[in-house]
Amino acid sequence: MFFIQMRIKIVFILLMVTIFSNSSIPAEPGRTRKPAVAGRFYPADSNELRSDVRAFLAEAGSQGTTRVQAVIVPHAGYVFSGATAAKAFAQIAPESSFRRIFLLGPSHQAAFDGASINTVCDSYQTPLGKIAVDRSVCEKLLQTDCVFGYVAEAHRQEHCLEVELPFLQERLKEMPPIVPIIIGTQKLEKLQRIANALRPYFTAENLFVISSDFSHYPSYEDALEVDKTTGDAIQSVSLERFLQVIADGSSQGIPNLYTMACGQAPIAVLLMLAQNNRGLEMKHLFYCNSGDSPYGGRDEVVGYHAFTLFRTSEACPSDSFSLTDEDKAVLLRIARRSILDKWTKDGFPSYASEEVSDMLRMKCGAFVTLHSHGQLRGCIGTLVGNRPLFEVVSEMAQAAAFEDPRFYPVEEAEMKEIQIEISVLSPLRRIHSIDEFELGRHGIFMVKGGHRGTFLPQVAEETHWSKEEFLGHCARDKAGIGWNGWHDAELYVYEAEVFHERAYE
């Protein structure tokens, strides 16, 4: 089991939800999903709603940044958690331009063992207007893994995604389409599959909104302690620590504690995507619980946290970066066509006919290596990407074929015997001791004065050099600073995802 089973009520009362009644809202194919909780969790009147949301955002008092990758926000009624949610949404710069917004929340209305994507509705409506659903991405996710499906009851009355929409509509100058996902499983294996399917979209071009309240129904004082422990675990961006906190919560015997976080599954998915990524930083922004509201008592409360996950660099992420098999095939086709463009001269770039994923639009460094009959035939690349990866590969392929000074330019007749290899690089990381350099895992880049040189990680396997030989050859043969020149050079390491074509016959 993923999470230790806790005493979870079938119907979450949340912000005293028992005062509300449910109405049936049909979701018809190709239709708009009407608001289910307008007038209850938030105002149904557009002017009143806009005024309330603007007041919350103004109170949060942030100009925002374009480096927000994800937010974790509560989903209770605005009188209880609106100010807390606004703390996170206010971190997003209004001019941020996202291709789409992924909304992940827990199921309060239906029991199912997977993730439900709303592929039925073309749009969601709030009192502030309609928001398009990215049906194309929804359908792709359904085809990616059978862990995804569509459960109508999971979306009809569900409030956890709906209450976030007015904040996004009011905060962003341009509202992109959404991908609404309700998670009904708590099984670790299935959550990992959900994270793996979402990973190609976990880029700077997309925003992830994770909807969750925290402790349910302990006393005010117990909630403060419990929610701090959970919040600290999330801020550490450690899935293992988060799981342990959830497990410990069930064994401490805290009176009336039914769950540490109703959105523990969506939070776990976010941590799977973010942990070990040095390019991301989680920031805790604010905490309160329903006992802090004049409308709530202190005997049984619900906790509310606000977090923002920031990108500390616009570069391609390292540890979390992963190309799908289709991504690799696309890059290899782009590389080969780019070389063939030398002779076809049809005027179209090598990637014109390709469907380029979000991952291939990340700014990454890359090397393209050509082999002929097992022998090196050209290799050119760039360590730092200042353009989308697919464009870098296109350019480096032509450079490897026609501009490597060690070889004469590739002839058209040779192309049937050329095998293309691509190395996609993580960001450079400065090291101060060769103990930080792992032979076979890391590439090396050394700088001394005006001299610089690099070896890709796979060179170690090809040459069977020792670590000292690897560094010595790079210093002497690539950087031109002598065999021992690496001792007082600036050293940087990077990793590479390496893939190649099958040998052409």
* pLDDT tens by residue, 359-379: 888 878 899 999 999 899 999
Amino acid residing at 476: R
Q: What is the pLDDT of residue 250?
A: 74
Contacts (Cβ under 8 Å, ≥6 apart) of 271 = 234, 237, 238, 239, 242
Segment 305-322, tens digit of pLDDT: 999 999 875 556 554 567
Q: What is the mean pLDDT of residues 192-217?
A: 92
Q: What is the pLDDT of residue 357?
A: 82
Q: What is the pLDDT of residue 26?
A: 42
Amino acid residing at 353: S
- Give me the architecture of the 325-500 domain, per CATH: 2-Layer Sandwich (3.30)
Residue whose C-alpha is closest to residue 46's, from 156, 136, 170:
170
Q: Residue 338 and residue 347: Cα distance in Å, rounded?
A: 11
Q: What is the pLDDT of residue 149?
A: 96
pLDDT(10) > 70:
no
**Domain residue ranges of the chain, discontinuous segments joined by +:** 37-311, 325-500
Q: Residue 476 and residue 481: Cα distance in Å, rounded?
A: 5
Segment 30-77, tens digit of pLDDT: 689 999 999 999 999 999 999 999 999 999 988 888 889 999 999 999
Q: What is the pLDDT of residue 104?
A: 98
Q: What is the pLDDT of residue 22?
A: 32
- Give me the architecture of the 37-311 domain, per CATH: 3-Layer(aba) Sandwich (3.40)
8-state DSSP, 412: G
Mean pLDDT taken over the chain: 88
Contact between 89 and 103 (Cβ < 8 Å):
no
Segment 241-262, tens digit of pLDDT: 999 999 888 777 788 898 999 9
Q: What is the pLDDT of residue 349?
A: 65
Contact between 305 and 83 (Cβ < 8 Å):
no
Where residue 204 falls among pLDDT bands split at 50, 70, 90? confident
Q: Residue 70 and residue 17: Cα distance in Å, rounded?
A: 27
